[in-house]
């Protein structure tokens, strides 16, 4: 059994310079896109050691130039067996694994009646199957270790019925329920599993859509906070759910949406 690097949970004090307790934590981040990159920066600033995996070597190179201490590895998670391989890579590169953040996804906006089976399957494969693959592989290690944190990027679309989002919504609703079952099965082994559900965040995933005339203004009107999100809005919640401070929090869908799902 590999000893966890996560310190014991407890009450913070003013003298506690590492309140989150992530110093030395070994973190695997899947996804170097808009949200993933910002979370990698957050983990690094909190003193964690990070391996980030993406299928896009250019995105990894940009991140490595920005954060020289971060390790990178190019891999396509949409390949059977990729979950086991990247977790093995993390164990090798980091000397263990305490935290998994899954942060990849795609969308395909069209009416339900227009989807071919292949187009539908592609979204499910990247958004849901890759999360299963890598969370199962990480969970296998963490359950044996007796500790771990798994955080998966869901979306408000897991709850809301946005038109033109059918496979995306299905993948995120499925992700939420997969995480809840993993959380129930692994809670007695000290492993927590939670999802983060952002509203619209300004990244490469949403850039083209937000540039369409009137779209940004229309979406902002739906958010009680009066603005869209930025990647930095995800970092605090991601770090908290990755830390010893959230040891009794599992199976949650945490909305990061400026109140979008309230109205």
The catalytic residues are: 168
Total site size for ligand NAD, rule CB under 6 A:
27
Which residue's CB is nearer to ligand NAD, number 21 or number 31?
Answer: 31
Examine residue 63 and tell whether it contacts ligand NAD (CB under 6 A): no
Instruction: Note whether 72 binds ligand NAD by CB under 6 A.
Output: no
Answer yes or no whether residue 77 interacts with ligand NAD by CB under 6 A.
yes
- Based on the shown chain and the rule CB under 6 A, indicate whether residue 158 belongs to the binding site for ligand NAD: no
Q: Does 33 contact ligand NAD by CB under 6 A?
A: yes
Interatomic CA distance for residues 251 and 228, integer angstroms: 26
Segment contacting ligand NAD (CB under 6 A): 8-16, 52-60, 135-143, 243-251? 52-60
206 binds ligand NAD (CB under 6 A): yes
Binding region for ligand NAD (CB under 6 A): 31-36, 54-56, 59, 76-78, 103-105, 126, 130, 153, 155, 198, 200-201, 203-206
């Amino acid at each position: 059994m590999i000893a966890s690097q996560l310190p014991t949970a407890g009450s913070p004090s003013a003298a506690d310079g590492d309140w989150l307790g992530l110093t030395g934590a070994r973190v695997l981040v899947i996804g170097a896109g808009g949200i993933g990159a910002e979370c990698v920066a957050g983990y690094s600033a909190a003193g964690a050691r990070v391996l980030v995996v993406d299928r896009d070597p250019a995105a990894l190179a940009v991140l490595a130039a920005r954060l020289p201490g971060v390790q990178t590895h190019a891999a396509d998670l949409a390949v059977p067996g990729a979950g086991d391989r990247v977790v093995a890579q993390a164990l090798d590169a980091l000397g263990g694994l305490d935290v998994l953040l899954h942060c990849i996804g795609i969308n395909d906006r069209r009416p339900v009646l227009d989807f071919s089976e292949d187009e539908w399957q592609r979204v499910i494969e990247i958004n849901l199957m890759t999360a299963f693959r890598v969370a199962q592989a990480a969970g296998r290690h963490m359950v044996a270790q007796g500790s771990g944190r798994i955080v998966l990027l869901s979306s408000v679309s897991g709850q809301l019925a946005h038109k033109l989002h059918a496979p995306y919504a299905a993948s995120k609703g499925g992700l939420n329920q997969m995480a809840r079952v993993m959380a129930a099965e692994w809670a007695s082994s000290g492993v927590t599993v939670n999802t983060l559900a952002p509203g619209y965040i300004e990244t490469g995933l949403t850039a083209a859509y937000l540039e369409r005339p009137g779209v940004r203004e229309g979406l902002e009107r739906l958010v009680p906070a009066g603005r869209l999100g930025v990647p930095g809005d995800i970092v605090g919640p991601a770090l908290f759910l990755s830390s010893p401070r959230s040891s009794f929090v599992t199976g949650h869908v945490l909305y990061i949406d400026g109140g979008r799902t309230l109205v």
